[in-house]
Chains A and B, each alone.
Chain A
Amino acid sequence: MADVPYSPLTRKRRTFSGSSQIWSGGDHLLLVVTNWWVQKYHRFRLREIQGITVARRPGFLPLQIVLLVVSALLLAAAMWATASTAGRVAWGVLSAPVIFAQIVDITRGPRARVILRTAVSEVRLPAISRLRAAREFLRQVEPAIRAAQSDIAPLTAPPAPGAFSLPPPAIPADRLPKAMLYTLLGSAFLGSAGSLFAIAKNLTGPLAAELWTIALLALASGIYAVVTVSKPLLRVLAVLLVAAILVDMGVTVWAWAAMISERRATLAMPPWFVRYAWVAHPAQMLVAAIGGALAWRDHRRASDKLKGRS
């Protein structure tokens, strides 16, 4: 394999710590994983590849679109309410990356996970993370693999009994999907931006400064709990939490809109809401903390199971 003329099969997928890419080397595929300054190589001879599976990852498109719309509305309101040009530029610089990242994430299509199987290994191909890229990859490599295996007679015997029984999942189902992680990070950012906005406008309402940070983080935790928690009681609790936070956010947005449209300097919350919030917010934070602790416990258990299995 010396001096193999490699040609790229996929685009380079960059992560925080490096990148990964798949190259074609004539009679083999080369998976290159770069981690900081070390490049690792995995070679798969075309004759030895037994199968490839592509699985679409769970998506949260409706939630992403809602967040995108909320982000855009918040940005528009902030830009409109800020008098100075510098302030508007600051808002744009702060918000544009989040909005742009969400738009790019949505337009790139659903995520996917690709597994390549040989006689002795099952390897995930980290270089392919989108369904569109996975289909393109298959379109390119499938003819080459079939041509390389043209002299191998396919097995006609049915699979051995038990070969297709359902084994324990290799990957815990309750692990946080990446799309959700992005949404959580976006929520946290927007929460911080909202509180910054409140501080910048010198709003002295009872909850103005911290409301968005707490509400959005708690909302994200609540949605995570609704998605992942399987126990009915906890799920009901999480749904109540999400509903309570949505009430908070709805009332606050209404109050902000009223303040901006009437050109007032202070945020006027309905009195009932102030009383409600003093009770509801600690409860929301408590429930979110319990949800987080339970999620962490489940994650640890799943990790221990995987370690025990390997």
Chain B
Amino acid sequence: MSARLPCGNCGVAIRPEYWNDPEGTMCDGCSEPVLAVAFPAWGHQTAVALPEGVAAEGESSCFHHPASRAVMACESCGRFLCALCDMDLDGRHLCPGCLERGVNDKAPGLDDRRVLYDSMALHLATWPMLMFYMIIFTAPAAVYLAIRHWNTPTSILPRTRARLWIALVLASLQMLAIASLVIFLIWFVPTFGSGGKK
């Protein structure tokens, strides 16, 4: 990737002489006002440490690269790692295998997505009320989701269980209404029928 700060409209690079200018400038590409802020890290590439060879016999070597000197042990599995295999993640040192496992297992700080079952349950409990006959299917589904995922970790952001509670209450009321309707029909429809015959 070339070292440049692009205009958000057209992608054309903003001239360096206008960087950090509080007034900004006009883009060369789209002639719209642009503002570019460059920080001290600009232009620095991520440092890649190269592994060193094992100097003396008896020195620890990397689990993945036996010819390379170990500089760190994985904090998760304890395997010795060379500079190339050492993955520094916010102060934690992990091997590539543990890092990948952590991403897949959604370890805190590594997860890149989460499913919001509470929102799903709430939507199932509210939207179908516009077409009331849909609640025959959606109310049980909302109750199931709310109970099944009561303890499933939701967003990593601050979030209460209010959605689950509301979904559960609404869906329960809907199921109660369905049950009442069914009982009403069973109880009264034959009566009306027999009344007509009499």
A residues lining the B interface (CB < 8 Å)? 1-4, 6, 23, 27, 30, 32, 34, 37-42, 45, 47-58, 112-115, 117, 119-122, 124, 134, 138, 142, 145-146, 149-150, 152-155, 159-160, 162-171, 173
Contact = CB atoms under 8 A, between A and B. Distances in A.
B36 A53 contact: yes
A38 B41 contact: no
Given A41-B156, A50-B41, A120-B1, A171 B9 contact: yes
A29 to B, nearest CB: 13
Closest 6 CB pairs of A and B: A1-B109, A113-B8, A170-B11, A2-B108, A55-B8, A155-B43
A56 B156 contact: no
A170 B38 CA distance: 20
Interface residues of B, number: 54
B contact face: mostly helix, strand, loop, or mixed = loop
A270 to B, nearest CB: 43
B34 A152 contact: no
B45 A115 contact: no
Contact of A39 (B4, B46, B114): B114
Contact of B123 (A37, A41, A49, A149): A37
Interface of B: 1-16, 19, 24, 27-30, 32-46, 90, 108-109, 111-117, 119-120, 123, 155-158
Contacts of A121: 1
A6 B109 CA distance: 12
Nearest to A155: B43
Contact of A117 (B5, B32, B120): B5
Contact of A38 (B6, B28, B43, B113): B113
6 contacts: A50-B43, A52-B37, A53-B8, A54-B34, A54-B36, A124-B8
